[in-house]
Amino acid sequence: MRGNLKLRLIIGAAIILFSYVKYCSRTDTNEFTGKKQHISLSTEEEIAIGLQSAPQMAQEYGGLHPDQEAQALVDKVGNKLVNSSVARETPYQYDFHLLRDPKTVNAFALPGGQVFITMGLFKRLENEDQLAGVLGHEIGHVVGRHSAERIAKQDLTRGIITGVMAGSDVGGGRMAAMVGQFINMKYGRNDELESDQLGVKYMIDAGYNPYEFIEVMRILDEASGGQSVPEFQSTHPSGPHRVQEIEAAIKANGYVK
């Protein structure tokens, strides 16, 4: 029994070490943000993943919304943000989609430039500047390569979980899975703060009022009605700290009302 346990520990440690070395060896500096990242995908792969996943994601929210006027506004604001900022220098193909779902309050971006907003969120926005805040934030995720970075992090986490499970009992494997989920969740929150900062800059570059993005936070709080949390908030945590960070980003970019 001891021999089997020792062998399992050696195998588990080897798997974890291999996963960690593989993760650390894939380091790249994002030329558009200056941030060093662990990335396992090329930009071409990011674009391909986004294009392939877009139809399925749209279908999950009831498909594209038939209101062409509303879609035209989403396109107008999204393209203005891209063309007025560093986003236009990236290799990504930006497409903006208004989804039919009237109840779900959400917006998200796929790797490579596919950006989505639900009618449930769109209809709550009060002006074009607020729409720019939402779309600018999602463009920030694309430019920041957050999806590609998260995929690499999840690969590392899976390797760690596999290694722990190989070298321990079922209970240890469950604990490793819980730790892995916590690691990835914390990582996502850092992405949100960076996307807020990038989104604020893109809003200012395009001539929008960045303080309206703070109003979006208020709208999201009101949308919850003190009951269920809007899906956007579950994936894009809000609160006083986030508002303070947005205000700091506005000031750092020299914006004056």
More confidently predicted of 213 and 168: 213
pLDDT higher than threshold 60 for residue 23: no
Residue-level pLDDT at 175: 46
pLDDT of residue 54: 92
Pick from 48, 47, 42, 45: nearest CA to 26: 42
138, 149, 194, 231: which one is catalytic?
Answer: 138
Task: Sort 126 into a burial class: Cβ within 10 Å, 0-12 / 13-18 / 19+.
Answer: exposed
Residue for token digits 């009060």? Answer: 126
d(CA 218, CA 212): 10
Is the pLDDT assigned to residue 179 strictly greater than 60?
A: no
CB proximity list for 54: less than 8 A, separation 6 or greater: 95, 97, 110, 114
| Count, residues in the chain | 257
Cα maximum dimension of the chain: 72
63-72, 154-163, 190-199: least confidently modelled range: 154-163
Residues 6 or more apart whose CB falls under 8 angstroms from that of 216 comprise: 125, 130, 133, 134
Name the 3-class secondary structure at 106.
coil
User: Is the model's pLDDT at 4 over the cut of 60?
Assistant: yes
Mean pLDDT of 83-110: 95
Residue labelled with tokens 């709208």: 219
Burial of 72 (0-12, 13-18, 19+ CB in 10 A): exposed
> In this structure, what DSSP letter does residue 168 have?
S
Using CA atoms, how far residue 195 sits from 139, 145, 235, 257, in Å, is: 8, 10, 13, 22
Smallest Cα–Cα separation from 131: which of 216, 237, 224, 219? 216
**Alpha-carbon gap, residue 132 to 201, rounded angstroms:** 11
* pTM: predicted TM-score of the whole model, two decimal places: 0.78
Told to judge if 138 belongs to the known catalytic residues of this protein, a careful annotator would answer yes
